[in-house]
Chain A
Amino acid sequence: MSTYKLDYLDQLESEAIHIMREVAGQFERPALLFSGGKDSITLVHLALKAFRPGKFPFPLVHIDTGHNFQEALDFRDWLAESLGEKLIVRYVEDTIREKKLKEPTGRNASRNALQTFTLLDTIEEFEFDACIGGARRDEEKARAKERVFSVRDEFGSWDPKLQRPELWNIYNGKIHKGENVRVFPISNWTELDVWNYIKRENIALPSIYFAHERELILRDGKLLATAKGVIQQEETDEIVTRRVRFRTVGDISCTAAVESDADTLEAAIAEIQATRISERGETRIDDQVSEAAMEDRKKGGYF
Chain B
Amino acid sequence: MDLLRFITAGSVDDGKSTLIGRLLYDSKSILADQMEAIERASKSRDDGEIDLALLTDGLRSEREQGITIDVAYRYFQTPKRKFIIVDAPGHIQYTRNMVTGASNCQLAVVLVDARHGVVEQTRRHSLIASLLGIPHLVVAINKMDLVDYSQDVFSNICIHYNELAQKLDVGEVTYIPLSALNGDNVVEKSANMPWYEGEPLLSYLETVELDHDENLTDARFPVQYVIRPQTAELHDYRGYAGKITSGIFRKGDTVTVLPTGETSTIDAIEVAEKHFDEAFAPMSVVLHLADDVDVSRGNLIVKSDNQPVVSQNVEAMLCWMDTKPLKVGNKYTLQHGTFRTRCAVREIIYQLNVNTYEETEDVESLKLNDIARIVLKTAKPVSFDPYDKNRVNGGAILIDETSNVTVGALMLRKEAI
Name A's B-contacting residues (CB within 8 A): 1-2, 4-8, 10-15, 17-18, 21-22, 24-25, 48-55, 57, 137-138, 140-142, 144-145, 147, 160-161, 163-170, 172, 174-176, 187-188, 190, 275-278, 281-282, 291-292, 295
Contact = CB atoms under 8 A, between A and B. Distances in A.
B75 A188 contact: yes
Nearest to A279: B31
Nearest to A52: B273
A277 B31 contact: yes
Looking at chain B, what size class is its interface with the partner chain?
Answer: 35 or more
A5 B214 CA distance: 9
A52 B73 CA distance: 31
Interface in B227-268: 227-229, 234, 237, 239, 241-243, 245, 248
Per DSSP, chain A at the interface is: loop
B159 interface: no
A144 B70 CA distance: 10
A165 B229 contact: no
Closest 7 CB pairs of A and B: A141-B58, A281-B33, A17-B284, A8-B3, A174-B404, A21-B224, A49-B272
Given A6-B283, A167-B100, A145 B72 contact: yes
Nearest to A3: B280
A49 B283 CA distance: 12
B241 A21 contact: yes
Interface string B268-285: 000111000000101110
A21 B284 contact: yes
B99 A144 contact: no
Interface string B66-93: 0001111111000000101000000000
A8 B1 contact: yes
Given A18-B284, A138-B75, A53 B229 contact: yes
Interface string B205-216: 000000110101
A119 to B, nearest CB: 23
B156 interface: no
Contact of B73 (A12, A17, A144, A281): A144
Given A8-B2, A145-B58, A176-B404, A190 B34 contact: no
Contacts of B99: 165, 167
Given A18-B284, A145-B58, A278-B31, A170 B396 contact: yes
A274 B338 CA distance: 42
Contact of A170 (B32, B212, B242, B395): B395
Contact of A172 (B59, B61, B282, B335): B335
A176 B404 CA distance: 8
A53 B237 contact: yes
A50 B397 CA distance: 25
Interface of B: 1-3, 31-34, 37, 41, 56, 58-61, 63, 69-75, 82, 84, 96-97, 99-100, 103-104, 211-212, 214, 216, 224-225, 227-229, 234, 237, 239, 241-243, 245, 248, 271-273, 280, 282-284, 297, 321, 333, 335-338, 391-392, 395-397, 399, 404-407, 409
28 contacts: A1-B211, A5-B211, A5-B214, A6-B283, A12-B3, A14-B282, A15-B282, A18-B224, A18-B284, A21-B225, A22-B338, A51-B241, A53-B234, A54-B227, A54-B229, A141-B56, A141-B59, A145-B58, A145-B73, A165-B409, A167-B397, A168-B391, A169-B243, A170-B336, A187-B73, A188-B75, A295-B59, A295-B60
Given A25-B224, A167-B397, 16 more contacts: A4-B248, A6-B282, A8-B3, A8-B82, A14-B243, A21-B224, A51-B225, A165-B97, A165-B409, A167-B100, A169-B245, A170-B396, A174-B404, A175-B404, A190-B75, A281-B32
B103 A167 contact: yes
Contacts of A7: 1
A21 B242 contact: yes
B41 A291 contact: yes
Contacts of B212: 1
A53 B273 contact: yes
A144 B338 contact: no
Contacts of B37: 281, 291
Contacts of A145: 58-59, 70-73
Contact of A278 (B34, B227, B243, B283): B34
Per DSSP, chain B at the interface is: mixed
Given A275-B31, A278-B31, A22 B396 contact: no
Contacts of B338: 22, 25
Contact of A168 (B2, B60, B395, B399): B395
A198 to B, nearest CB: 15
A144 B56 contact: yes
Contacts of B391: 168
B409 A167 contact: yes
A167 B99 CA distance: 8
A168 B31 contact: no
A272 to B, nearest CB: 11
A170 B103 CA distance: 10
A141 B228 CA distance: 40
A161 B60 CA distance: 11
B271 A51 contact: no
B340 to A, nearest CB: 9
A42 B399 CA distance: 32
Contacts of A170: 335-337, 395-397
B31 A166 contact: no
A276 B100 CA distance: 32
A125 to B, nearest CB: 24
Given A165-B406, A168-B104, A53 B397 contact: no
B406 A166 contact: yes
A183 B409 CA distance: 21
Nearest to A16: B284
Contacts of A175: 404
Nearest to A163: B70
A90 B282 CA distance: 38
A142 B216 CA distance: 36
A295 B225 CA distance: 34
Nearest to A191: B75
B73 A137 contact: yes
Contacts of B72: 141, 144-145
A287 B271 CA distance: 39
Contacts of A141: 56, 58-59, 72
Given A144-B56, A170-B397, A188-B73, A164 B284 contact: no
